[in-house]
Structure 1
């Protein structure tokens, strides 16, 4: 480099932090939007986008949001998630596309000084749009596709007085599909590059506008002549690392696209600072070009690594990638990233893929995710709450199902924060894209196999989405589609071009149950089952060695059900013989899965409240058994499993750990218990006592204590023994089948399985209720009442500590649900995060439960406690 260039480099670096007046400015256009249907709008975009065009008769619009969301917020339609209300809303298949075609308009203040460029970015519009500013059309070429970001330089569109109007005409998807009850309706929804679930699925009713609208953020950004775009961060972590230890160096590779919009060449410095070092490169950018620039690799000394949930800390770094020219900052892009490396291997023993992070193998305990809200009412706060629930379940992975969307950066930020690895599917499904014969589909398999109609749009959108989310530490795996690959040309574009060129650091699965992920030794579809199962199935029946979809039921409790079921529908659902439907239409409409006779062992439910309470016993038992059964065969039968599914984007009655309103049910706590990092458990089929270690270190000198309690609360110590377990393994300790069967023979029994450390602190506390010899919980049905003593205090602005004690000579206080309420309304406050719930206390036992609610200072808090054999009580907060 010439001496003059070196002087330029050092002077620019010196000025790096004092050029705040020239720094980038970015803000969101998310208020004061208005909309009007095209049928009622006589003017065109050139007129509507003039600031003097009168919008007084237009309706306030929700942006980001959909047409349906705006209509709901203006009380033009009933809540489609309540009861049968969705049937009262006109479906686009019947009305035609024009019915849901709307103009959206927004006035904003902005000017461009000399040397400034102003950019307008849409992070997601569904589906095709015409964009106008101040009487001029912005997008001269078509802009369509649900997943395609688009940025426009609007500098020359702005009015000199700073008063501007943006007008956007949004058309629905080209093919709206017939919502005929099939998976994705008649399948033609998949002709678009958009979500497929909107035409209905076996877990959701159709979304009437097919989510038409400006559904993601609209941003204004100001830069200099050079815009920094699509930064790319790659971290390389070689060898086998340990959390918390001093680390060998890691390599950081940084690049970015630089767009020079001026008519002159620009010479400047691309740079970032980290750990006291400045990494910089001088570049010359030709006029009206976009250039990708690679910075020199940086060796990070003793990096703080990012680990999945349960294995270590989720350390994150922040850098600003900046381009400066002539001593001024043209643009800065902030990037947050974690230092980690994902590795994958083929496990010859299980015949499935094995995932490692930073050289350490991870037993995958995951959940399938659809999206946060079916009407795309997305928020950073809701994402954070939902991902935290997954963290609280001791899960370490989320798979985003292919009939939905590429999740938003805010979703990935939450996964980075809480340590959830992510499998991101592309927008393909076996149902709509032709894997099977299907009489509900309009076209045959050959035709459906070529969906979508515009392959180039799919490929362009895929490339853009990779750029949008590739810097997130949590993103671990790309997947071509749900249960089928994309068409060959799309598959090869993603697999052989886009991912190697734009990422290159992650495993790519052709489709979600591919042999590359998990060998199909059973034939057929391989994933599932999805309904109620005898717990022995989870322990004894071998399924795919890395099962992408396996699950059970998930109905909420009575409080949850009453939120969306009208009073007339608050009944016990009874099955229509020979069908998957039940007699009550609302239960069927909300996709209820029958519990069969699973509750009868506790006594036949007498009303909906009793039904819902007993459902929680089943829920807890099902998901604890699922997690324990798979864990019992880790590295032997399995390298991982993913629950179908852990959340619902609407008020459904199946497959969820918490309801649409973010109220957890017993599924969450059964999963949490069965997934403990270090866990002691009982195999109800064979009577085995086992321990599981999901950490990277062996566990020594643990005390295993097994105690039974009869229905009167009498205690019997069955064994107490020191034990150890190697890292990332499962171990059989003993068999107690004979003893336990004898104790349970008449009325059933309770079984406490605990692990204690050398300080006699509990590591794992697992409590089972064992049926009698006939499989009935006869003893539970005749249990005496127990009294729980409860005290609570507020420990800080977000946390309450509740202490429960089962005092005196009485029986077990069984299966107690704790709920945080607001005394002003008498309602549960949501979301509240509990350290444990649905807890049982043996005689003399004390349990402490913490509950966190961010807005604690805005409510008058109290705690409700209800249990199987304890009276309902309310505790005031000290």
Structure 2
């Protein structure tokens, strides 16, 4: 089954939505585009941009999109994410740049009424372009730079009859790089200001067109004489605040750029409305002047504050900013803002930075993010799903890796919505930009250290990115680059000019694993390790005090694997000795990380399905153990950790909590469990029970209940005792070593670790499976089959409540995967969000799980349940 079919069928994520912050009159040009390669186009831009020119045999184009996306959608190339198909697509390094140089043409209806100004806005084109409208050239100079927005006043170029044609010639990057297998290929991809991963990395194969195209949105915007742009909202929240209480005032500071398009001075009023109040100031602009105007500070009484995930509500205010002339609105912007303040300080004990929001320090539990889709097929719906998954993992931060891009406004809208703080890297990497000696690189370190070739373009792009993203509450930190600082002049521009002038309220880290962020007392790179580890390591081996990257495995289950592995490659991966590769070329091509001998304690896998099932057990334990180990040392060893990585933008076989198709694996739920805001956990090294409190409040009268179960289902209550724990802290409660030795030596045991509040409601529910004295899961290998009773009912147009129970006389129904299935096709419905998954139900116990799926109202669905010792069953939904 092709990737294209799956994405369209299950996700329908190629529909592009309009950004929340809309101008007064703006619409997107996102349909009825056509394209043609330059080598097959005889006409020039002056001719092509006339509506009289016939576009014979031109191909329908995807805009926003890349050349490769258009070719895929027209079935001119095979799915590059499936099997070895990417090898069948010509690489730009071999073909030359002209092969992927394309004309894009769009007809549109528009005219300007008296006094109106019409603007053509590009939010991103890769890499350099010439623009024509109605037989006229729009840009005087070549428009270059993947990350630069560009606005053109096209009022005088519009046709009198309103029938217009736009023609855009898109050239690939000047240096496309040799995809020779190195990190970023031969490194020369970094000579431009663009994505470095497109020449290949250790988690992705090369993107053949290097993402050439009109990759981001194109807008037509209409204003009157004055154009309002780049609004800047600053929220100041002094002191230490507590969520959900009466708040002292906050200060709101608002400014914006105003552009007078006329050859005469103009006077008017800049104003905004917030919380029922109007704040305004008179403005006079000289002829053709562009001027930044600041409005008076506004004191917002009892503000509804914005808090990160797990700490409070993500309150947002609507702010309507507009410029009026004699009472008539010339231009306006509607924004959604969160009132909050980010603070940072140096923790002398851990020797690392710690982050606070509204005066409250946060223990950072984050994930590294690459990009939503390697072919830049972005959408609000996909962003929302991915950020929701991060919210569901109980994370509070996402770091955007420096080999990618300034993330899109729609990404930040979702982070604002779900409460994920963001570290936004600028576009450098230690691999391409010269930190290390690397025989795969074409040029030496001294040369690479000065990449990109055009420093001024980088500085312009950084300035524009700051202006585009600075109003989002979720944006917390700027970072100079991935594992390396930018060259000295760029670094100076960022630190001393751009950020002080355009965004002076956020922390700037000079590079991602800098001593400024986390003192590197061990030497080396200041991050890692990567790959699968013994869970004990997370608890007893101290790593960097604010670890920006620590990674592991992440293979999906058999259903996920079969989506992109051809039948002949659906095998158990066998490692090639002395390498990071495996025997099967498709597994290696998709960057599989080996599980070493971690599956063997569950029994040697017999086929791919068995391998993938046992991998989920390891996935769950690996990520639960990682986050628990770091949490057990919060504020002592650590102020935060960021997992490398939580998602993949293509069909990779490593480091992911959900796959490219938005199908979660057990990593997500292990991490979700281990990251509970208030969490009881088992230390596998010292055999202690601990409680971590990530809230700002002391937790009183928490009942800790510890229960052991043998493989027959017999239970033993170890303890049931009240506890308390201070805010933002971790506390050791008791040792269970004696019980583990007594009960689990022969076959291993199950250990249920729960916290209940005074209403006897579960606050934390953690279920461990512990090996026998030899380190094997012998009890699991011989665990008896058991029955699981399930009932499901719709509780809304998008939600299902699932109740699972096990008879008292049975054994544990262990590690059950729940899926929502399309009854017509038998395929999983994606994305589906689960309140929990890969769940175990104890004898006489009950589990309630909520499933959420947006299209439930129009879809015929069933629930599929299958566990380690529970036969697969299909369940109708009442």
Q: Is contact 2:186–2:440 with CA below 8 Å preserved after alignment?
A: yes
Partner residue in 1 for 2:12: none
Partner residue in 2 for 1:589: 589
Partner residue in 2 for 1:12: none
Does the residue aligned with 2:195 lie in a helix, a strand or coil?
coil
Partner residue in 1 for 2:794: 794
The separation in 2 between residues aligned to 1:770 and 1:449, in whole angstroms, is: 50
Instruction: Indicate yes or no: 2:438 matched with 1:438.
Output: yes
Instruction: Indicate yes or no: 2:289 matched with 1:289.
Output: yes
Does the residue aligned with 1:827 lie in a helix, a strand or coil?
coil
1:369-410, CA deviations, whole angstroms, 9 ceiling, x for partnerless residues? Answer: 000000000000000000000000000000000000000000
Question: How far off its partner does 1:577 sit?
Answer: 0.6
Partner residue in 2 for 1:410: 410
Question: How far off its partner does 1:526 sit?
Answer: 2.0
Partner residue in 2 for 1:378: 378
Instruction: Indicate yes or no: 2:259 matched with 1:265.
Output: no
Instruction: Indicate yes or no: 2:358 matched with 1:364.
Output: no
The separation in 2 between residues aligned to 1:197 and 1:666, in whole angstroms, is: 27
Partner residue in 2 for 1:534: 534
Partner residue in 2 for 1:826: 826
Q: 1:700-715 maps to which residues of 2 (within 5 A)?
A: 700-715=700-715
Instruction: Indicate yes or no: 2:317 matched with 1:317.
Output: yes
Does the residue aligned with 1:407 lie in a helix, a strand or coil?
coil
Q: 1:548-559 maps to which residues of 2 (within 5 A)?
A: 548-559=548-559
Q: Is contact 2:673–2:766 with CA below 8 Å preserved after alignment?
A: yes
Instruction: Indicate yes or no: 2:203 matched with 1:203.
Output: yes
Partner residue in 2 for 1:253: 253
Does the residue aligned with 1:623 lie in a helix, a strand or coil?
helix
Q: Is contact 2:514–2:526 with CA below 8 Å preserved after alignment?
A: no
Alignment length (residue pairs): 857
The separation in 1 between residues aligned to 2:275 and 2:718, in whole angstroms, is: 56
Question: How far off its partner does 1:327 sit?
Answer: 2.2
The separation in 2 between residues aligned to 1:743 and 1:704, in whole angstroms, is: 20
For structure 2, the residue ranges without an aligned partner over 5 or more in a row are 1-22
Q: 1:93-172 maps to which residues of 2 (within 5 A)?
A: 93-172=93-172
Q: Is contact 1:821–1:829 with CA below 8 Å preserved after alignment?
A: yes
1:559-585, CA deviations, whole angstroms, 9 ceiling, x for partnerless residues? Answer: 000000000000000011111110000
The separation in 2 between residues aligned to 1:513 and 1:92, in whole angstroms, is: 33
Partner residue in 2 for 1:738: 738
Does the residue aligned with 1:72 lie in a helix, a strand or coil?
helix
Partner residue in 2 for 1:493: 493
Partner residue in 2 for 1:279: 279
Question: How far off its partner does 1:729 sit?
Answer: 0.2
For structure 1, the residue ranges without an aligned partner over 5 or more in a row are 1-22
Instruction: Indicate yes or no: 2:826 matched with 1:838.
Output: no
The separation in 2 between residues aligned to 1:858 and 1:181, in whole angstroms, is: 46
1:685-742, CA deviations, whole angstroms, 9 ceiling, x for partnerless residues? Answer: 1101000000000001111011100000000011111100000000000111122122
TM-score normalised by length of structure 2: 0.97
1:647-680, CA deviations, whole angstroms, 9 ceiling, x for partnerless residues? Answer: 0000000000000000000000000000000000
Partner residue in 1 for 2:622: 622
The separation in 2 between residues aligned to 1:579 and 1:330, in whole angstroms, is: 64
Question: How far off its partner does 1:761 sit?
Answer: 1.0
Aligned Cα RMSD in Å?
0.8
The separation in 2 between residues aligned to 1:465 and 1:236, in whole angstroms, is: 22
Q: Is contact 1:306–1:313 with CA below 8 Å preserved after alignment?
A: yes
Does the residue aligned with 1:804 lie in a helix, a strand or coil?
strand
Question: How far off its partner does 1:865 sit?
Answer: 0.2
1:27-83, CA deviations, whole angstroms, 9 ceiling, x for partnerless residues? Answer: 000000000000000000000000011113100000000000000000000000000
Q: Is contact 1:132–1:138 with CA below 8 Å preserved after alignment?
A: yes
208-217 or 328-337: bigger deviation: 328-337
Partner residue in 2 for 1:7: none
Partner residue in 2 for 1:329: 329
Does the residue aligned with 2:849 lie in a helix, a strand or coil?
strand
Does the residue aligned with 1:769 lie in a helix, a strand or coil?
strand
Does the residue aligned with 1:626 lie in a helix, a strand or coil?
helix
Partner residue in 2 for 1:803: 803
Does the residue aligned with 1:630 lie in a helix, a strand or coil?
helix
Partner residue in 1 for 2:15: none
Q: 1:744-763 maps to which residues of 2 (within 5 A)?
A: 744-763=744-763
The separation in 1 between residues aligned to 2:148 and 2:762, in whole angstroms, is: 51
The separation in 2 between residues aligned to 1:813 and 1:526, in whole angstroms, is: 42
Partner residue in 1 for 2:17: none
Q: 1:444-843 maps to which residues of 2 (within 5 A)?
A: 444-843=444-843
Does the residue aligned with 1:595 lie in a helix, a strand or coil?
coil
Partner residue in 1 for 2:4: none
Question: How far off its partner does 1:501 sit?
Answer: 0.2
1:184-213, CA deviations, whole angstroms, 9 ceiling, x for partnerless residues? Answer: 000000000000000000000000000000
Question: How far off its partner does 1:217 sit?
Answer: 0.2
Partner residue in 2 for 1:68: 68
Q: Is contact 1:678–1:763 with CA below 8 Å preserved after alignment?
A: yes
The separation in 2 between residues aligned to 1:56 and 1:301, in whole angstroms, is: 62
Does the residue aligned with 1:549 lie in a helix, a strand or coil?
strand
After the TM superposition, list the runs of 4 or more consecutive aligned residues in structure 1 that deviate by more than 4 angstroms. none
The separation in 1 between residues aligned to 2:756 and 2:327, in whole angstroms, is: 62
Partner residue in 1 for 2:852: 852
The separation in 2 between residues aligned to 1:592 and 1:744, in whole angstroms, is: 34
Does the residue aligned with 2:692 lie in a helix, a strand or coil?
strand
Question: How far off its partner does 1:858 sit?
Answer: 2.1
The separation in 1 between residues aligned to 2:551 and 2:793, in whole angstroms, is: 37
1:797-839, CA deviations, whole angstroms, 9 ceiling, x for partnerless residues? Answer: 0001111001130110000000000101100000000000000
The separation in 2 between residues aligned to 1:760 and 1:331, in whole angstroms, is: 56
Does the residue aligned with 1:440 lie in a helix, a strand or coil?
coil
Q: Is contact 2:274–2:320 with CA below 8 Å preserved after alignment?
A: no
The separation in 1 between residues aligned to 2:246 and 2:187, in whole angstroms, is: 54
The separation in 1 between residues aligned to 2:768 and 2:421, in whole angstroms, is: 31
1:10-35, CA deviations, whole angstroms, 9 ceiling, x for partnerless residues? Answer: xxxxxxxxxxxxx9210000000000
Question: How far off its partner does 1:275 sit?
Answer: 1.9
Q: Is contact 1:262–1:288 with CA below 8 Å preserved after alignment?
A: yes
The separation in 2 between residues aligned to 1:736 and 1:618, in whole angstroms, is: 23
Partner residue in 2 for 1:387: 387
Q: Is contact 1:679–1:692 with CA below 8 Å preserved after alignment?
A: yes
Question: How far off its partner does 1:289 sit?
Answer: 1.1
Question: How far off its partner does 1:319 sit?
Answer: 1.1
The separation in 2 between residues aligned to 1:150 and 1:843, in whole angstroms, is: 63
Q: Is contact 2:275–2:317 with CA below 8 Å preserved after alignment?
A: no
The separation in 1 between residues aligned to 2:252 and 2:56, in whole angstroms, is: 53
The separation in 2 between residues aligned to 1:602 and 1:132, in whole angstroms, is: 64
Does the residue aligned with 1:330 lie in a helix, a strand or coil?
strand
The separation in 2 between residues aligned to 1:25 and 1:703, in whole angstroms, is: 57
1:739-759, CA deviations, whole angstroms, 9 ceiling, x for partnerless residues? Answer: 212211100000000001111
Q: Is contact 2:120–2:219 with CA below 8 Å preserved after alignment?
A: yes
Question: How far off its partner does 1:859 sit?
Answer: 1.3
The separation in 2 between residues aligned to 1:857 and 1:340, in whole angstroms, is: 37
The separation in 2 between residues aligned to 1:856 and 1:95, in whole angstroms, is: 46
The separation in 2 between residues aligned to 1:781 and 1:336, in whole angstroms, is: 54
Partner residue in 1 for 2:47: 47
Q: Is contact 1:824–1:859 with CA below 8 Å preserved after alignment?
A: no
Question: How far off its partner does 1:598 sit?
Answer: 0.3
The separation in 2 between residues aligned to 1:276 and 1:700, in whole angstroms, is: 39
Question: How far off its partner does 1:490 sit?
Answer: 0.3
